[in-house]
Structure 1
Amino acid sequence: MDSAMAAVVRASGAYGGILYALPPGEDAAWQVLITGVPQEMAAPWRRVGLKDPMPVADAIRERRLVWAAGRENMARQYPRLALVLPYEFGLAAAPVTSGAAVRGGLVLLWAGDHPTRLNGGEQDAVRAGCRRLGDSMERTLARGEPLVPDRPRTLPPAAPRPSSPGEAAALSAFVDRLPGGSCALDLQGRLIYVTPGAAGLLGVDRSLLMGALPWEALPWMDVPHVEDRYRAALVSRRPQAFTVLRPPKTWLTFELYPDATGLSVRIVPGSPDADAPSPPSGRSTGPSRATVLYHLMHLASTLTEAVSVPDVVEQTADQLMPALGAQGMVVMIPEDGRLRIVGQRGYHPELLKHFNGLPLSSAVPGADVMATGVPGFWPTFEELREAYPTMTHEDGMAAWAVLPLIASGRPIGSLLLSYQRPHVFPPGERAALTSLAGLVGQALDRARLYDAKHHLAHRLQSALLPHSLPHVPGLNVAARYLPAARGLGIGGDFYDVIRLDEHTAAVTIGDVQGHNVDAAALMGQVRTAVHAHATVGAPPGDVLARTNRLLTDLDPGLFTSCAYVHLDLATHRACVALAGHPPPLLRHADGRVEPLRVPPGLLLGIEPDTVYPSLEFPLPPGCVLALYTDGLVEAPGVDLDDAIAALAGLLEHGDPGDLDAMAETLIRHAPTPGDDIALLLVSPRAVAGHSGGRSIVFTDEKDERRSAGTGSGGEDAR
């Protein structure tokens, strides 16, 4: 495998590579062999999931050769990779196959001066090398050996031609005579050679430098731009330079010259005011790598908490505009063939009305960037007008960047950043902006999906819950529903009031497991089943038992708690049955509150033949019956009995003559809703001619058919 790896790197003209193995049956590839780059630099991608937005994952998953070169192109295709390695270099990734099986992936790296495309010879060399590596992996599996070692191995570079003692002495003398000082680093960044002149400039004995990392041996070099330039030299294979202060007041300029074995470094006195001697690739421009990574961490962390499209817009504006010095921001998406503005900062809404709703074929930067996926940068209005002659200068800004918002490899929108003064966009800044926009695009895509599900789920739940409760003579009712603070903001809590006949009614409340569309759909089925069985005059225990049999037949994979109460408003009595539901609270006319201790049956949907005991109790005028779901009382670290007792205390001090005010008080004192909350309060009123004392008589479906002529039984009066 080592020889095959060395051969493909040499034949393709790459300076280094990383070999990944895909163990059979796994959904992630692991680094096996590294050459030409330090392990520390490759460590963030030691394991790559096949769904990760990384070149090697795309190559393995899609069985194709992937090529990305240049900072801007890398930022468009792979923004996360470009943010960590914002340098000029070329990268190819290809699947490693053996026959029809994909055994892994190969990543090869080229210097920053490589042409924008791989030529035919390079592509042939990559494919041939992948076949050889695949055959080697196949032999490894045939021997029963694991493909993935505990740690990836590093393949050392080819040894240089050995020098004679005379040549070595002459070379050392030559280097010592050069002005300033010189040193050499291996590919791991450790010092392997230091001239006396370099040691003198650094102010440290040579023995303390050999084998050490410069930024560890010299604390004053432990600053972001030093390591950044070192990484830039290794990755781009282009000379780099930087100037740094050696305390207390000595400025030193370092010039880095990379090759396949490491870095040669020239050190000369410098100054903070004058630019250090700079090779053609020169210094980095735009935001420093440390600055970009700082904002990346903040933006990435905040966007993970962004749920809706407005959240994404607000958090992007809060993070990016101050960091980048922009004064305006507009987020645009395509919708029904038109440009739609979903959020902005720094613009007057009246101005944006001219652009909102334009056809996507319009000659405006936002639509063009959205269509092509290519960012646009205009340092002045003159340059913008040259590209778009019909544009008029209306926004008072002086420079603009329009960036594609990419998700799953396709543009899903565009992001406009504008500046009040002319603003140069050097290559480093363009790549950084494009990468950051990629993170915004992925967050926006997730948010739009969430918004769509949220809208659908709320429409579904709105259709399934009663829009208004029926008027039942002799009964006061108040109901409240509060969705969970997490998830889609919907769930399976439900309530209903059912008018059965002139003197009887039923109330029910329930809680379907979950906070998603499935829970809302099942809630509709449960509510409908309870309603149907109630209207035929079935006792509470039978209503729950029949609904339970229906759910076990449907087998939805979700369970439901439910409380069902039959109300006889003529006799002022009630009968209740529970299916795994919290006990109702009964507030007596004298203010005393007690939970109704009904033996609870199993949750609905578990056992088809479950029996649900019921409890009959008096419910005279002036009493209040409170039905609620567990979201009203459950909170982390709080005993459930204590929580129910606290709810009873609030109910005791409420005004039974104002159920709405009582409901608001109970909801206001509820814990932060990690679960849905439903609440139903009922209180009978005194009605002339009604008397209490006798037990409730129920009519089941057969009785209803026999006595239909006498008016007994129920009628759905929704």
Structure 2
Amino acid sequence: MAARFSPPDGRPDGDGRDALAVDLLGVLEEVGAHTGGIYRLEPGGQVLELAVIEGLPREFVRPWERISLTAPIPVAVALREGRLVWVEGEEEMVRCYPGLALALPYQFRMAALPLATDTAPCGGMFVLWPCSHPSRLSSGERDRLAAAATDLARGLEKIPRTGPPLRAGLEPYVPGPPGGGRAEALETMVARLPEGICAMDDHGRLTFISPRGAALIGESPRRLVGARPWRVLPWLNDPVYEDRYRAAMVSRQPTSFVALRPPDLWLSFDLYPLGSGITVRITPAPVEPGDVPAPAPSVDPAIPTRVGAIYHVLHLASALTQAAGVQDVVDLVADQMMPAFGGQALALLTAEDGRLGVVGHRGYPPEITAQYDRLPLRSPTPSTRTMVTGVPSFFESPEEMDQIYPMAVAPDDGMAAWAFLPLIASDRPVGTCVLAFSQPHHFTVEERAVLTSLGGLIAQALERARLYDAKLELAHGLQESLLPHALPRLPGLTAAARYLPGTEGMEIGGDFYDVIRLTDDTVAAVVGDVQGHNVTAAALMGQLRTAVRAYATTGAGPAEVLARTNHLLADLDPGLFATCVYVQLDLRRRVAHLARAGHPQPLLRHPDGDVRVLDIPGGLLLGVDPGAEYPCTEVLLEAGSILALYTDGLIETPGTDLDDALADLGAELARTGEQNLEDLADALIRHARPTGHRSDDIALLLLCPTADPVPDPESDPAPAPAPEESGPPAARPRAPRGRDGGPPPPSVQ
């Protein structure tokens, strides 16, 4: 039986949705599936709205009636990527879509496809099979689904894109004709069975119950037929029992449960799903009252806890586990809550110095959020009242808002309905979540309960995120003070540097670089990598950089600089090791002296484009052996050659051979080396990070001797050394850029 959709005003469905449901049912029959749904892409192109569902009642899919196009859900992924998405079972669902798996913990196989016309994408569809289906789609099934997607897209386009939101209209139950003929014979046959038998449709309503079944349950068949058992029988009003019914419907696999009919009769319910319903066998259960605990009775029978509401809460809870910073929380809450409840705007408010503060919002223009921001907590507005008292407020229309707040002190945000949810963490209010609707909205009892529960989840995630952001800001401030703000400008040399923290953890690490003016014609350059990606590694990195600079400016050669730094690190005994490559360049003679401590080999690009690895001998990692020695190697450099020093984050990728990665980086340097040094650094960084995920930091330093004349200290008086940041701003080397090539974050300026 299909769940037909009609406008909320009850007008007959004449806009093509019935025909679309019939077409979908035909597709399900052809491919042997039991459930399917069609989503329509809303005009804004960011939200998918469920238009037709076959095989399951609406309450099963209520949390996903409206979903963000960015949601990690197969039908959204299929539309975003323009491909068929196949989920072969529960394990793959847990691995690829953990939030959905938590909310639908059942065994089934799923296919999701995009729906598109010749002009543009218009929606998506999903199809479910029981796990008895093979673990792979056959070529015939794929072809049929692809053809069906084209046909259904045309039908979906015929549904108007304007008007009220689509709603599911549940078909009323109509009992069959009274007994007679074959029906009477079947009822007589079933009545002879010692166990009770009943039948349920795909909306969970009883369509038949045998006399024995009614006697075991203890109710009149007339009261049971046409009703959902958990709605009329208080002792079955428990999410655990409804969950078993859902499991049977979604997985199409038999299941069972045991329940206590007061005062002391235990009954076993065996559910056998087939077609558009379920057959249930009811028998006395051979258990003692003390063996199975009875479910707790509902405190208020009029406000039952529905399992769908529980799954809605679980779904958001799973999504919030992915949030790190405050903006992550804002984005996840907006992506989950606004489509699910049909809201058009959302704001998260917190208290700071006795005033409200907007930590994030979606759907509000800046002039509206300004009305919330910096509002005194003593102001008698719904947002401040909710934060101070910790009591949620729901306003279904502007008239209702005006009745309670007649002084018009509530911000005028142009909306027509609001839910003000307290954000309570550790038993104290920490903020308010405002969910607003552009049209009057009726908040059901269940919806109010779910929204209030979600407020608690949001509060916990927001508190964690604010703590994370505070620690991250502190760490970035530390790293900003440890890395050079600019490179020195020297005649005869151009240089460019980039630093990118890893994207895991607190996005800080122990990679460092530096360029040190020694004399007018001599410069030192260093690139190092301290073990670890945390504040300890960053602090030790600062100590090593300072030590290298101090030893270099005393006139020590490369071998002695590394030996002294190694001895210092061994004395500090931080429990961490470091790698390092140190170069001293004579700019007038264009000669480089290099020493290496366990660090990746430098690359040298000659002016003709040839690139080779400088296979220079090296010593142990810094901090391993206080007496380690570090040999020094001399290399001649031509004008226009490029010496590339880097940390292993530039070449190490899980699953990639290190030699292959180094050869690949050399090929990229050969191909792009004709660019100016700043653009070349950007190109090498882009090549090393095709995705935004990095498990390690990256430091890159490019040095290019030029043909510009270098002062000869023996013939010309040495000019006064210029400050490292001297010169016109346009001539200064660019500071290391951020991870996306834009302005650098504080830690990499």
Q: Distance in 2 between matches of 1:444 and 1:229?
A: 40
Matching of residue 401 in structure 1 with residue 422 in structure 2: no
Question: Contact 2:325–2:468 (CA<8 Å) still a contact in 1?
Answer: yes
Matching of residue 451 in structure 1 with residue 472 in structure 2: no
Q: Distance in 2 between matches of 1:229 and 1:568?
A: 91
Q: Return the match for 1:612 from 613, 625, 630.
A: 630
What are the ranges of 5 or more consecutive residues in structure 1 without an aligned counterpart?
1-82, 85-179, 181-192, 213-220, 247-255, 266-278, 692-709
Q: Which amino acid aligns with 2:513?
A: Y
Q: Percent identity?
A: 50
SS in 1 for 2:514: strand
Q: Displacement, 1:643?
A: 0.9
Q: Which residue of structure 2 aligns with residue 355 of structure 1?
A: 372
Q: Which residue of structure 1 aligns with residue 707 of structure 2?
A: 686
Deviations 1:428-452 (A, max 9, x none): 3322111111111121112112221
Q: Which amino acid aligns with 2:633?
A: L
Q: Distance in 2 between matches of 1:339 and 1:455?
A: 22
Q: Normalization by structure 2: what TM-score?
A: 0.56
Q: Displacement, 1:423?
A: 3.6
Q: Which residue of structure 1 aligns with residue 286 of structure 2?
A: none
SS in 2 for 1:486: coil
Question: Contact 1:321–1:329 (CA<8 Å) still a contact in 2?
Answer: yes
Q: Displacement, 1:509?
A: 0.6
Q: Distance in 2 between matches of 1:435 and 1:420?
A: 23
Q: Displacement, 1:504?
A: 0.9
Q: Which residue of structure 1 aligns with residue 175 of structure 2?
A: none
Matching of residue 298 in structure 1 with residue 319 in structure 2: no
Cα distance change, pair 610–358 in 1 and its aligned pair in 2 (3 A)? same
Matching of residue 327 in structure 1 with residue 348 in structure 2: no
Question: Contact 2:562–2:582 (CA<8 Å) still a contact in 1?
Answer: yes
Q: Return the match for 1:479 from 488, 497, 513.
A: 497
Q: Displacement, 1:260?
A: 5.9
Q: Return the match for 1:570 from 573, 588, 598.
A: 588
Q: Which residue of structure 2 aligns with residue 498 of structure 1?
A: 516
CA root-mean-square deviation = 4.4
What are the ranges of 5 or more consecutive residues in structure 2 without an aligned counterpart?
1-101, 104-186, 188-193, 201-205, 218-224, 250-258, 269-297, 726-749
Q: Displacement, 1:603?
A: 2.0
Cα distance change, pair 380–566 in 1 and its aligned pair in 2 (3 A)? same
Cα distance change, pair 308–227 in 1 and its aligned pair in 2 (3 A)? farther
Question: Contact 1:381–1:399 (CA<8 Å) still a contact in 2?
Answer: yes
Q: Which residue of structure 2 aligns with residue 630 of structure 1?
A: 648
Q: How many residues align?
A: 477
Q: Which amino acid aligns with 1:601?
A: G
Cα distance change, pair 684–229 in 1 and its aligned pair in 2 (3 A)? farther
Deviations 1:468-507 (A, max 9, x none): 1011221111111222222222222111100001221100
Q: Which amino acid aligns with 1:373?
A: G
Q: Which residue of structure 1 aligns with residue 393 of structure 2?
A: 376
Deviations 1:524-566 (A, max 9, x none): 1111111111111111122112112222222223322111111
The correspondence of residues 109-120 of structure 1 with structure 2, limited to 5 A, is none
Question: Contact 2:595–2:631 (CA<8 Å) still a contact in 1?
Answer: yes
Question: Contact 1:234–1:258 (CA<8 Å) still a contact in 2?
Answer: no
SS in 2 for 1:669: helix
Q: Which protein shows a greater Rg?
A: 1
Matching of residue 640 in structure 1 with residue 661 in structure 2: no
Q: Distance in 2 between matches of 1:227 and 1:675?
A: 54
Q: Displacement, 1:203?
A: 5.5
SS in 2 for 1:428: helix
Q: Distance in 1 between matches of 2:320 and 2:504?
A: 16
Q: Which residue of structure 1 aligns with residue 327 of structure 2?
A: 310
Question: Contact 2:419–2:434 (CA<8 Å) still a contact in 1?
Answer: yes
SS in 2 for 1:531: helix
Question: Contact 1:402–1:417 (CA<8 Å) still a contact in 2?
Answer: yes
Q: Distance in 1 between matches of 2:647 and 2:596?
A: 12
Q: Which residue of structure 1 aligns with residue 525 of structure 2?
A: 507
The correspondence of residues 2-151 of structure 1 with structure 2, limited to 5 A, is none
Deviations 1:623-678 (A, max 9, x none): 21110111111111111111111111122233357222222221121134321111
Q: Which amino acid aligns with 2:313?
A: L
Q: Distance in 2 between matches of 1:363 and 1:290?
A: 37
Cα distance change, pair 431–560 in 1 and its aligned pair in 2 (3 A)? same
More displaced stretch, 528-537 vs 431-440: 431-440
Question: Contact 1:501–1:715 (CA<8 Å) still a contact in 2?
Answer: no
SS in 1 for 2:688: coil
Q: Displacement, 1:344?
A: 1.9
SS in 1 for 2:495: strand
Q: Distance in 1 between matches of 2:702 and 2:546?
A: 21
More displaced stretch, 612-621 vs 332-341: 612-621
Q: Displacement, 1:332?
A: 0.4
Q: Which amino acid aligns with 1:682?
A: L
Question: Contact 1:535–1:716 (CA<8 Å) still a contact in 2?
Answer: no
Q: Displacement, 1:687?
A: 4.7
Cα distance change, pair 552–206 in 1 and its aligned pair in 2 (3 A)? farther
Q: Return the match for 1:545 from 542, 549, 563.
A: 563
Q: Distance in 1 between matches of 2:635 and 2:397?
A: 81
Q: Distance in 2 between matches of 1:634 and 1:602?
A: 20
Q: Return the match for 1:675 from 677, 696, 710.
A: 696
Question: Contact 1:500–1:715 (CA<8 Å) still a contact in 2?
Answer: no
Q: Distance in 1 between matches of 2:414 and 2:709?
A: 75
Question: Contact 1:498–1:717 (CA<8 Å) still a contact in 2?
Answer: no
Q: Distance in 2 between matches of 1:281 and 1:648?
A: 71
Question: Contact 2:489–2:724 (CA<8 Å) still a contact in 1?
Answer: no
Q: Distance in 1 between matches of 2:566 and 2:543?
A: 11
Cα distance change, pair 422–553 in 1 and its aligned pair in 2 (3 A)? same
Q: Distance in 1 between matches of 2:624 and 2:263?
A: 67
Question: Contact 1:506–1:534 (CA<8 Å) still a contact in 2?
Answer: yes
Q: Return the match for 2:361 from 324, 338, 344.
A: 344
Q: Displacement, 1:517?
A: 2.3
Q: Normalization by structure 1: what TM-score?
A: 0.59
Q: Displacement, 1:349?
A: 2.2
SS in 2 for 1:354: helix
Q: Displacement, 1:233?
A: 4.8
Q: Which residue of structure 2 aligns with residue 134 of structure 1?
A: none
